[in-house]
Amino acid sequence: MTLRTALVTGAAGGIGSSICQRLLEDGYRVAGTDINAAGLAALGEALGASFTGYARDQTHADAMALLVDEIERDLGPVDAFVNVTGWTNATRFETETQAYWEKVIALNFTSLLFASQPVLKSMIARKSGRMVFIASDAGRVGTGHEAVYAACKGAVIAFAKSLARENARHLINVNCVAPGPTATTLFTEEMRDHPEMVARMLKAIPFRRAAEPSEQASVVSYLLSDDASYITGQVLSVSGGLTMI
């Protein structure tokens, strides 16, 4: 049986690495990309030979086009694409700079365009493929101290729905997972820097805890599976009930 190939961006992060591990368990050959070369190398050592890391800067379109060509030469056509790359700080909009806005937009939205287009072209040629974008309920309901991030995630959601409409005729499914607070390194930093804000957030979650990265990965796994063959253009919140929309 030919192994399917999955490409995961932001693979060295907490959610990204868990998704890579889960997809390996699901039987994929996994290509992971991240700007964090050291983290990617460590992940490769932990996951073994079925994982191949590609240290790249996703904010460069040419680099992403070349990356997809390289992966398809090395591992075969990309059957599943998961975009995890993202970043923000907890700040107030009126205090932010243009440089900060540009970084947030580049890492949360523009980089998705650069990575998804070459993958989509390949999927259209084969009339087959699955895409899952990591969004956020910030993009659905808004959130304080993350206005530009929320705007980007709203754009991710609208982009996914639009791609889903355009490409259903090519048998390509496009969906979003919207994680709530998840126990990653970024969340740990927020707990350190903004303990009162995080405490209020956790109190608002009906389960009274942050998600584990593996709980996000399991939903991505489902959306890539044959069980989700008739699901496209959807946003599935994995937030412990923090948002119910």
Helix 14-25 vs helix 185-193: crossing angle, to nearest 10: 150
CATH number at residue 47: 3.40.50.720
Please report whether residue 196 resides in a domain: no
Catalytic residue list: 149
Tokens of 184: 């990653």
pLDDT of 212 > 60? The answer is yes
Please report whether residue 71 resides in a domain: yes
pLDDT tens for 53-66 read 999 999 999 999 99
Q: What is the overall mean pLDDT for the chain?
A: 95
Please report whether residue 118 resides in a domain: yes
Kind plus residue range of the DSSP H or E element containing 150: helix 147-167
Please report whether residue 171 resides in a domain: yes
pLDDT of 98 > 90? The answer is yes
Kind plus residue range of the DSSP H or E element containing 239: none
pLDDT tens for 116-133 read 999 999 999 999 999 999
Q: How many domains does the chain have?
A: 1
Taking the alpha carbons of 6, 12, 16, 21 in that order, is the dihedral positive or negative?
A: positive
Q: How many residues does the chain have?
A: 245
Determine contact, residues 136/149, Cβ cutoff 8 Å.
yes
pTM comes to 0.94
pLDDT of 2 > 70? The answer is no
**Domain span including residue 128:** 4-181+212-238
